[in-house]
Structure 1
Amino acid sequence: MANRSVTARPSVGRVLAWIYLAVIILITLFPFYWILRTALSNNFALHTDASSLLPVDFTWGAFKRALGLASVAEAQAEGGSGASLNTALYLRNSVIYAGVQTALVVFCSATAAYAFSRLRWKGREVVFSVLLCALMVPAIFTLIPNFVTVKNLGLTNTFAGMILPGAFFSAFNIFFLRQFMLGLSTEVEEAATIDGAGPLRVFFRIVLPMCAAPIATLCLLTFINTWNDYFWPLMVTSDESVRPLTLALAVFKQASPNTAVDWAGLMAATLIAAAPMLLLFVVFGRRIVNSIGFTGIK
């Protein structure tokens, strides 16, 4: 008797679930598509067919304006204001700002997490409880005190002024790494201590290598958050030499207040600014999810 292959019909619930996911994905990705569609359009032509789903009068001119490769005449011919971005300079500033702050805050968070999870000292639990309270304080509440401090120290319009206020403390990072360290086996550390290794040597030679995955995740998350930061650089910088790319986008938008906004150029500049972060998410997205799961292991 011949075997007949039976194809199971998908249940109604499964079909509805896939439809729901498809709608969510469409809603999530459509703004990115609209930004790309606008960036590939002629800024003059955009007003003639604003509802078109395809680029209106397709052109790469907006990207040339955003990269500073178009002349004033070429920019104005496509509806641009004539302004351009010094993209290389602003990218350098963003890399310095995000890179240095990420290195400092993750290293300081790792040392603090080690102290809270491995070292025994009086008042440790009380101090950690106070630290957890910092998670409930909105970051915007600290902007004014930090600004006053930076101004009094004469650090406005400097990388140090942008980096230092947030470089040495992150309640979330400390909590994240402490939870992971609590789940690590202490046998190797105890053996190293018996052999004469001190706390610093144990931390650098044993604990840090074992925490490579969550530390890499925190580096990625911190870098992305710092790269996208807007309000703090806006408060402490006005000099082009230290202005990050996110702040430069707003300056580009307001470059010619007497003319219409160069939406195509602004969207092209936004894509250039977002491209590194999107690439990081695509490459390391799975690592983020996996490392967050590690915090529940004990």
Structure 2
Amino acid sequence: MRRISPGRVLAWAYLVLVLVVTIFPFYWIVRTALSNNYALATDPSSPGPVGFTLGAFKRALGLASPAEAAAQGGSAASIDLLSALRNSIVYAVLLTVCTVFFSALAAFAFSRLRWPGRNAVFAVLLSALMVPQVLTLLPNFVLIKDLGLLNSFGGMILPTAFFSAFNIFFLRQFMLGLSNEVEEAAIIDGAGPLRVCFRIVLPMSVAPIATLALLTFINTWNDYLWPLLVTNDDTVRPLTLALAVFKQSSPQAALDWAGLMAATLVAALPMLLLFVVFGRRLVNSIGFTGLK
């Protein structure tokens, strides 16, 4: 048996502490979502659900009547969760596909093609990583307004659909480490740059591309500030904004915390499923890219 040392004990204690701190907010969300609002006010520090009920999920999904919501301490505020969920999926999927696709093309151009000024242009591109996002909000908003794309998916997607400095840098570093033999053989057989890109380089870069797609999808799903600036219509409003509107439109003095936590849990489920399914692939892809 391996000898137990004080350092090992401290390491495990630290890991357990980090795990508890990380998981506790999710547990508290579930506990609040399964509680009755009236009962929560009487025992807010209870470690388990207070007045266990699934009414909060019924209110979040729009399945509860006003009388049922009032009986459980819910507010008359409503949220079209399914519509907001659909908008978030459309917004995240379209932006992820566009951003990753064009970033992959740019990374191929910076890593596998030879053209004058390539390194200088790439240095300028990297400088975009040092520009805070808040400095680009106003110019992008003015552009979207002048184009007449407010309250549309195009207005939310356009500013970041064609460019991501981090994605280009990430993919370029991986592509620089790819072997040249297959690419050179294809060029000898008459393959052009586009064929080399789509038939050889991109298939060999599936792992980092999948990693970037997952990270981009998560960031887009959680985006709040930019959709807040360019949308005020329920037809395109994503889930993050719908939850904020639900919180602010409660007509009662006490907020419907159970309903809000239930809606938040439903909104977080797609991200949890993605991590469960692709978590190991994400870690392996980042490690493999770092070795390259």
Q: Same fold by TM-score, threshold 0.5 exceeded?
A: yes
- Residue of structure 2 equivalent to 1:157: 151
Percentage of pairs with the same residue: 74
- Among 80, 83, 95, which residue is 1:86 paired with? 80
- Residue of structure 1 equivalent to 2:18: 24
- Residue of structure 2 equivalent to 1:203: 197
Give unmatched runs, 5+ long, in structure 1: 1-6
- Among 163, 167, 178, which residue is 1:173 paired with? 167
Label 1:103 to 1:8 Cα distance change in 2 as closer, same or farther (>3 A).
closer
Q: Would you say the 8 A contact 1:83–1:255 is kept in 2?
A: yes
- Among 174, 177, 184, which residue is 1:183 paired with? 177
Q: Would you say the 8 A contact 2:75–2:256 is kept in 1?
A: yes
Q: Would you say the 8 A contact 1:43–1:80 is kept in 2?
A: yes
Q: Would you say the 8 A contact 1:183–1:297 is kept in 2?
A: no
Q: Quick one: distance in 2 between partners of 1:178 and 1:256?
A: 48
Aligned residues between the structures:
292
**Secondary structure in 1 matching 2:42:** coil
Question: How far has the Cα of 1:142 moved from its partner?
Answer: 1.0
- Residue of structure 2 equivalent to 1:283: 277
RMSD of equivalent CA atoms: 1.0
Question: What is the letter of the counterpart of residue 208 of structure 2?
Answer: P
Q: Describe how 1:1-298 pairs up with structure 2 within 5 A.
A: 7-298=1-292
Question: How far has the Cα of 1:258 moved from its partner?
Answer: 4.2
Question: What is the letter of the counterpart of residue 83 of structure 1?
Answer: A
Q: Would you say the 8 A contact 1:116–1:128 is kept in 2?
A: yes
Q: Would you say the 8 A contact 2:125–2:165 is kept in 1?
A: yes
TM-score (norm: length of structure 1): 0.96
Q: Would you say the 8 A contact 1:61–1:78 is kept in 2?
A: yes
**Secondary structure in 2 matching 1:121:** coil
Label 1:201 to 1:18 Cα distance change in 2 as closer, same or farther (>3 A).
same
Q: Quick one: distance in 2 between partners of 1:85 and 1:157?
A: 18
Label 1:162 to 1:8 Cα distance change in 2 as closer, same or farther (>3 A).
closer
Q: Quick one: distance in 2 between partners of 1:122 and 1:214?
A: 27
Q: Would you say the 8 A contact 2:102–2:162 is kept in 1?
A: yes
Q: Would you say the 8 A contact 1:81–1:259 is kept in 2?
A: no
Max radius of gyration: which structure?
Answer: 1
Give unmatched runs, 5+ long, in structure 2: none
Task: Please list the CA deviations of residues 216-262 of structure 1 after superposition, one character each: whole Å capped at 9, or x if unmatched.
Answer: 11111101100110011100000000011111000111122443210
Label 1:43 to 1:163 Cα distance change in 2 as closer, same or farther (>3 A).
same
TM-score (norm: length of structure 2): 0.98
Question: What is the letter of the counterpart of residue 153 of structure 1?
Answer: L
Q: Would you say the 8 A contact 1:72–1:83 is kept in 2?
A: no
Structure 1 runs (4+) greater than 4 angstroms displaced:
none
